[in-house]
Structure 1
Amino acid sequence: MTQGATTARAVGGPGAWPAFAGCLLSVFMQMIDVTIVNTALPAITTDLNATSAQQLLIVSGYSLAFACTLLPAARVGAMTGRRRMFLIAVLAFTAASVWCGTAGTADELVIARVAQGIAGAGMAAQTIAILTALFPRDLHTRVFALYGATSGFAGLLGPILGGALVTTDPAGFGWHSIFLMNLPLGIVTFALGWRFLRLDTPRQRSPLDPTGVILSAATLFGLLYALSEIHLRGWRPVPCLIIAVALVLGAVTLLHERRVARRDAGPLVRLDLFGDRGFAVGSIVVTGFFGLFTAFVFAISLTLQDVLDFSPLRTGIAMTPFALGAGAGALLSPPLVQRWGIRALAGGLVLFAACVALGVAYVNITGGRVNMMLCAAPVLLCGFGAGVFAVPLQPIMLSGLDDGQMAEASGLLPTLEQIGNGVGLALLSAVFFRAHTLGGSTVMLSAIAVAAVALAAVTLALPEPAVMPDRSGPAPAPVVN
């Protein structure tokens, strides 16, 4: 049996879809907490008298803890059972969210955010393995598309919802509400998982590989911490040096994992996954896409609110056509891939790039004056291209793996996504020069459009799917990390 296969396939049972709903709620919570704190940070800083260092850790502490915990959390789930690990992580995430929402000092909030990130990784690292166990192959396109779409919707909604909650303060909790809203969501998630998630206990228990845990955590921490420093404070010698050290540690980690794999001692990272062309090329594309789209969401939010003086509410209204277009793209992507194969994905990304470039030209011609009715159609087409590209990506990437390999990818795939997020924001800072002007936004968004075209070219190296996505298609979905 393949190492890391953790569940027997009692697929398609009556509880599969409610259990899946619980998984999607967990994805929504863990991804929205990546971005929701950004727009609430000024209010948090004022209330808790946070220093600049504390502000950085409030924002990045969650993402750092999340990324560094994914790989060991996936292995612990494989050893002890995905259901058990998922439910414990949901409880821990909910408790940590309440802790964040009731924190009385900046230091306490930083610690609570780290705890929240660790618990979020505990949920995220089980999701792909759980979905693989719950559903047969012919439903994987739909469930993985919904999984990615939920993650994207949460990433897009985070900054908008955070700003709206702080601005309107409907419950009178101020910034605390951005964390306390996870309490009812966490209760529902746990209830669905407890009642409907039924998975067998592991058939094989691989060791944890503590050396691999330390090396991988040090690598990811150094890389993502340095990238967050670059994003917030610009390119300086110290973070660049940290990146160099992290890359050396990454090479040492890979060598260690190869030795562990040769001994058949349960490597933390299954390097043989990259022997599959779809997974290898897909890893590059997924990392690039999450970097690209994280940069896009940040650039749009910054441009609309800081440069064009949009309120958070008006920003949300302006991006609504994008969400609708992404939903339409998600619905139509299966027949498009049936007809055109991988070229449909590349075409969707080129359409996205063309609409971004058109938007750049428009705001420069008008001097920053925006007619939202006139812009609705291009914004909708921009979202449509993103939806066509992103929804089939993960199913195609994973289609060449067997069930045991998919379980092993459960921690690796979200780790790649987190690396993409960090790289995207750091590179965006490099081209933006932190100048909150129309010219700076033009440089940012133009660079995103060029990068999208380049990524579309890389996408063409993906193998054509042996089994095209089903025509029933996924539900509508905006796509962002």
Structure 2
Amino acid sequence: MSDRVLGTHLPGAPADGGIDAWLAFTGCLIAVFMQMIDVTIVNTALPNLTADLAASPSQQLLVVSGYSLAFACTLLTAARIGAMFGRRIVFLVSVVAFTAISVWCGISTSAMELVIARIFQGAAGAGMAAQTIAILIASFPPNRHQQVFALYGATAGFAGMLGPIVGGALVTADIAGLGWHSVFLMNLPIGLLAFVLGFRYLRLGRPENRDRLDLGGVALSTVSLFALLAALADIQQNGWRPGPSGVIAASLAVGAIFIGYERRLTRRRGSPLVRLDLFADRGFALGSGLVASFFGLFTAFVFTVSITLQDELHFSPLRTGIAMTPFALGAGAGALASPFLVKHWGVKVLAAGIAVYGGCVAIGAGYLYLTNGNVNLALALGPVFIAGLGVGLFGVQLQPLMLAGLRERQMAEASGQLPTIEQIGNAVGLALLSVVFFRAHTLTGSVIMLSAIAVGALAVALPTLALPDPAERLT
């Protein structure tokens, strides 16, 4: 395989998918696991750290969403920096930064300090995540791409599902009296392992041709996203008012200007931050909307369940983790079964999976309403497992299918755009839905939030059927 602008190989290091490539990719997956688990692990620890640090409702939201927002706003820039200076060096520096900042989060002594640390942590996480797909493309031959894409998607999804379980176990175990601090400090050994594997086995050279950083695109995209999320946070606190509503309209206008700017830059053969030509592929365009919707719904679901169980139903962190375990087990089963089922029945499997998930969430909302929060865990085990199964069936194969129609160079370009789409879904979905949930912050509010998530999931099922058939895309 010849050298490429994005993630080129060192001479004598072909993309043969050998043992060194798998060990390097393992280091990348460990980094992805660490980055994704930090999206959701904090949810279970949120009540404890709120009490310890006297965090206000807005600070609680920022501890969760600040990470995702910083991640989303810096992913595109991180991907371009990796293309300019080399995927290997940017990945390794980002792993070190993420690990060090995780320690900072773990030793924070005030809510505002933790919020600031989480924002820096999200930016460092973007530096890791933005390189992963490009590393995958450069390290493996095309006939292995579907396999490694599936592993990448499964690792990211499963990490998000394990977050509340691991968080509950760590907070309850209270190892060395660390309490909630341990959910961040656990990244120290994990990050060291990811760094060692990447440093030893990741063999990517520097690009021969370096595109310039699209500073105009960086400024416009960052302003648009920050304005949108800041306005949503204000609405969550104070309700709908003309000021924040105007900021939302302005953020959308800046976003439109950003798209126009990137189009002009592409026509002039410049180096746009976003390659809009990727969206000419139907699978990528439709899949982008599905990915954003799914990640927004899923993040809001995990956040809602964690807060509802602990704040409204007064579950301990450990009991919260136990309650979520069937969901993770179901998701694991769905992830394992999805490639085989999709091979035989195509995208109908994905549509059925997300519809089953939405139906189970709707049942859960109705159950909470009818029982007034008197939950029987034994009775809930089956629906919770089936809900996870639906998530596993949908989430693992979605990314391979949406990327399969792209050319090899285009997939390298997608290395920053796909995680950005995911994190925009995370941040915007959580912020939009939490406007309803956090302002109510009652059992009724939880029921409304879960009902909204169920409706959203069911709405995603129909457009999923419009994805190109896997048999055509993967031949």
- Once the two structures are superposed, what CA deviation does each residue of 1:392-449 show, in whole Å capped at 9, x if it has no partner? 1000000011121111111111111111112222332344473344433332222222
User: Is 1:357–1:446's contact at 8 Å kept on the other side of the alignment?
Assistant: yes
Quote the residue 2:154 is aligned against.
149
Quote the Cα distance in structure 2 between the aligned partners of 1:448 and 1:107.
30
Quote the residue 1:353 is aligned against.
358
SS in 2 for 1:416: helix
Instruction: Tell me by how many angstroms 1:59 deviates.
Output: 4.0
In structure 2, relative to structure 1, the CA distance for the partners of 1:106 and 1:314 (3 Å cut) is closer
Quote the residue 1:478 is aligned against.
none
Greater shift in the superposed pair: 281-290 or 105-114: 105-114
User: Is 1:16–1:196's contact at 8 Å kept on the other side of the alignment?
Assistant: yes
Match of 2:292 among 287, 291, 298: 287
In structure 2, relative to structure 1, the CA distance for the partners of 1:64 and 1:366 (3 Å cut) is closer
TM-score by length of 2: 0.91
Quote the residue 1:273 is aligned against.
278
Quote the residue 1:112 is aligned against.
117
Quote the residue 1:69 is aligned against.
74
User: Is 1:171–1:177's contact at 8 Å kept on the other side of the alignment?
Assistant: no
Greater shift in the superposed pair: 149-158 or 457-466: 149-158
In structure 2, relative to structure 1, the CA distance for the partners of 1:119 and 1:271 (3 Å cut) is same
Match of 1:337 among 339, 342, 346: 342
SS in 2 for 1:171: helix
Quote the Cα distance in structure 1 between the aligned partners of 2:292 and 2:76.
16
Quote the residue 1:328 is aligned against.
333
Quote the Cα distance in structure 2 between the aligned partners of 1:49 and 1:13.
51
In structure 2, relative to structure 1, the CA distance for the partners of 1:469 and 1:247 (3 Å cut) is same
Question: What amino acid sits opposite 2:395 in the alignment?
Answer: A
User: Is 1:228–1:422's contact at 8 Å kept on the other side of the alignment?
Assistant: no
| Structure 2: 5+ residue stretches without partners | none
- Once the two structures are superposed, what CA deviation does each residue of 1:258-309 show, in whole Å capped at 9, x if it has no partner? 1111111111100000000000000111011111111221222233223333
User: Is 2:168–2:319's contact at 8 Å kept on the other side of the alignment?
Assistant: no
Question: What amino acid sits opposite 1:7 in the alignment?
Answer: T
Greater shift in the superposed pair: 288-297 or 419-428: 419-428
In structure 2, relative to structure 1, the CA distance for the partners of 1:233 and 1:50 (3 Å cut) is same
User: Is 1:5–1:203's contact at 8 Å kept on the other side of the alignment?
Assistant: no
Quote the Cα distance in structure 2 between the aligned partners of 1:120 and 1:347.
32
User: Is 1:292–1:448's contact at 8 Å kept on the other side of the alignment?
Assistant: yes
Map 1:284-433 → 2, pairs under 5 A = 284-432=289-437
Quote the residue 1:188 is aligned against.
193
Quote the Cα distance in structure 2 between the aligned partners of 1:234 and 1:161.
34
SS in 2 for 1:6: coil
Instruction: Tell me by how many angstroms 1:100 deviates.
Output: 2.4
Question: What amino acid sits opposite 1:379 in the alignment?
Answer: V
1:463 is aligned to 2:474: no
Quote the Cα distance in structure 2 between the aligned partners of 1:324 and 1:404.
36
Instruction: Tell me by how many angstroms 1:43 deviates.
Output: 4.4
1:81 is aligned to 2:82: no
Question: What amino acid sits opposite 1:19 in the alignment?
Answer: A
- Once the two structures are superposed, what CA deviation does each residue of 1:292-351 show, in whole Å capped at 9, x if it has no partner? 111221222233223333222112212222111111111111221122111111111111
SS in 2 for 1:15: helix
Question: What amino acid sits opposite 1:140 in the alignment?
Answer: H
Map 1:109-258 → 2, pairs under 5 A = 109-231=114-236, 234-258=239-263
SS in 2 for 1:434: helix
SS in 1 for 2:95: helix
User: Is 2:50–2:56's contact at 8 Å kept on the other side of the alignment?
Assistant: yes
Quote the Cα distance in structure 1 between the aligned partners of 2:66 and 2:212.
28
Aligned length, in residue pairs = 470
1:453 is aligned to 2:458: yes
Quote the Cα distance in structure 2 between the aligned partners of 1:62 and 1:430.
18
User: Is 1:230–1:426's contact at 8 Å kept on the other side of the alignment?
Assistant: no
In structure 2, relative to structure 1, the CA distance for the partners of 1:100 and 1:300 (3 Å cut) is closer
Instruction: Tell me by how many angstroms 1:375 deviates.
Output: 2.2
In structure 2, relative to structure 1, the CA distance for the partners of 1:52 and 1:305 (3 Å cut) is closer
Quote the Cα distance in structure 1 between the aligned partners of 2:237 and 2:474.
40
User: Is 2:24–2:201's contact at 8 Å kept on the other side of the alignment?
Assistant: yes
Identity in percent: 65
Quote the residue 2:6 is aligned against.
5
1:90 is aligned to 2:106: no
Instruction: Tell me by how many angstroms 1:45 deviates.
Output: 4.9
Greater shift in the superposed pair: 76-85 or 54-63: 54-63
Quote the Cα distance in structure 2 between the aligned partners of 1:36 and 1:197.
28
Question: What amino acid sits opposite 2:6 in the alignment?
Answer: A
Instruction: Tell me by how many angstroms 1:131 deviates.
Output: 1.3
In structure 2, relative to structure 1, the CA distance for the partners of 1:229 and 1:127 (3 Å cut) is farther
Quote the residue 2:39 is aligned against.
34
Question: What amino acid sits opposite 2:8 in the alignment?
Answer: T
Question: What amino acid sits opposite 1:357 in the alignment?
Answer: A
Runs of 4+ that moved beyond 6 A: none
Quote the Cα distance in structure 2 between the aligned partners of 1:354 and 1:53.
31
Quote the Cα distance in structure 1 between the aligned partners of 2:84 and 2:302.
37
- Once the two structures are superposed, what CA deviation does each residue of 1:44-63 show, in whole Å capped at 9, x if it has no partner? 45555656665555444333
1:444 is aligned to 2:449: yes
User: Is 1:329–1:383's contact at 8 Å kept on the other side of the alignment?
Assistant: yes
In structure 2, relative to structure 1, the CA distance for the partners of 1:326 and 1:434 (3 Å cut) is same
User: Is 1:65–1:118's contact at 8 Å kept on the other side of the alignment?
Assistant: yes
TM-score by length of 1: 0.90
Instruction: Tell me by how many angstroms 1:175 deviates.
Output: 3.2
Question: What amino acid sits opposite 2:316 in the alignment?
Answer: S
Greater shift in the superposed pair: 448-457 or 306-315: 306-315
User: Is 1:216–1:253's contact at 8 Å kept on the other side of the alignment?
Assistant: yes
CA RMSD, 1 decimal: 2.5
